[in-house]
Structure 1
Amino acid sequence: MGKTVSIKTTDEFIDFTKAAIIDRESQEKWMEASQNGKIGELRTKLEILKKKFWVLEREIDANGADLIVQKASLVNDLIDISGAPVAFVQVKNIGPNTAVEIDSRYIYYVDGEELKTKDEFFLFIYRNDNHKFLVFLPSKEIDGLVKSGTCSKFIDTTTKVPYVKFTSKQIEKLNKSSTKAEFEKTISQAIETIDHALSIEEYNRSIGLRHFLGVRPSKLGVEAQVQKYFTGLQDDDLVDTYFELLLFLYKQMELGSIRSFVIKDFLTNLSSDPRELSERVAQMQQDIENHTNIILKKWDKNYAYIPDTYDQLSQMLSDFEKALDKTTELHQDSTKNI
């Protein structure tokens, strides 16, 4: 809806309504964008279904998911213990001079102090005037284009949300599909990329670490949480003690969980046909070394200094309690004066 002006009388309302009905065109601008979007979704849905994936639906398009994709398998479905991983697919079906804007929150998440890509987010861009045109971008490639300056970045000053923007010329340069064969090749590569991402996520879920641990606490997140409940108060002491407590507990959980989930992985391997175990033992021995290398690479070696004792945790809880009591008292005093 554009700029509005109040209608003062019923007669004016009747006259304006008559004029709007009489002058109405058979097609309106919003319809073209809506129809193009639906055509793009249906094209992508068809290609994905042809490659033995399932496309899920929900009533509200959230987090950029025009389509939600999972592997077509009854063995590992959404309601199973580990749950089937899914990919979020956003589809754009645009005109030759149309830009594409993507909410940065669809592409990234915050883990501790790091901004990381959501590896299960993918973008398909079609052109409604050229059925052989297709640009496929996984989140990591979008991130690479952002960092290389290949695309534009802007922020909505009202919502404070940053966006990634591809102009029509930038999209044209990214297109590698100009023939039917190239289009089919791009589609196949896209499906393979989605399949690979889901396979990696499936493995991560099988050992459970990523979903068990969740994201690492961040100081920015703690500051936002403190501000939410103590509006208008800036208390660095509370933020620091709260953040240190959360990070300490996260690191302890991370250290403790590694052994448990590695053992679970082997337990899963052993809980199959006993006749196959003789063939698996050599591979499992190799897996022990591989797990060790993964752990050393993925988890900071500096964690080794964390003491296996409750003394430090007890002191941190005490410091946090004092800081919280102090801030609560200050907050109560400030609200009384309002």
Structure 2
Amino acid sequence: MKAEKLDLTQEWDKTFPRDERVDHEKVTFVTRYGITLAADLYKPKGAEGKLSAIAVCGPFGAVKEQASGLYAQEMATRGLLAIAFDPSFTGESGGQPRRVASPDINTEDFCAAVDYLSCREDVDPDRIGIIGICGFGGMAINAAALDPRIKATAAMTMYDMSRVTREGYFGSTDSKEARDEQRRAWAAQRTADYKAGEYTRAGGVVDPLPNDAPQFVRDYHDYYKTPRGYHERSGNSTDGWNATGTISFMNQPLLDMACEIDTPVLLVHGEKAHSRYFSEGAYERLRGDNKELVIIPGASHVDLYDNRDTIPFDRLEAFFGKSLIR
């Protein structure tokens, strides 16, 4: 394995304040596809011995300086060694072209994070879990179905990216005719991009907001396009994914093997989130007594990105404590 040398920002450039109870450093690790990923590592100050550890990623289109870093730092204050990483092709991580997503490669990103954590001297390799936020909640569940080294999985305000790509929101484009129209649009875009020799970006979160924007689009704008959550490396904050960046989700269902997960899975969603049905659908796919669905009263999708009064960190601490600490 040969790691790519990444140009990593060393100053604190997160969308949340630094917690002095936690030590922080930048680290890198390599996926089995040879892509070098960048991560922020958070460790309880003064911690000794082998710790339980978690890897955190998401939301879809975000970077580790946003919600995933907030989660990782907070969980480190509760005794876990935690990394928040940028997925392949995104943020400070490597991979070309930029701003492309893949159900396979992004699932591998989680497994590669487990590779890295398993080989650290200060981590117990038998006590590693993961947290996926938004679209990376689906990737986290897929990783848990694939990798038995993952002993506990939390999916926060999750999207099933395969389902929404295939069916649209609430099944609004769930027909062969609608999918064929999307396939033709992607095919035309591929031809245009190849002819131009560069990839067209799809645009990030809508800005300015149209008067008729639905509430969840307004919520995204309030996070990604304001000082609350804006980050210059985030596609959602800036110019978005490649226009062809999510093609492969159409034909590759993420959650087909969720029924064979034996380790604990915690699904957390907001009561008022437009995306709530994704967690409910994932819950139905899970089998046995290893699953738990927590609905946060009054919460929206984006509340679970950074609202400390809404994110159930005590519940997460208890979940990982029970699952990872023997």
TM over 0.5: no
* Structure with greater helix share of residues: 1
Structure with more contact order per residue of length (Cα contacts < 8 Å, sep ≥ 6): 2
Looking at CA atoms only, which structure, 1 or 2, has the larger radius of gyration?
1
- Shorter-chain TM-score: which interval? under 0.3
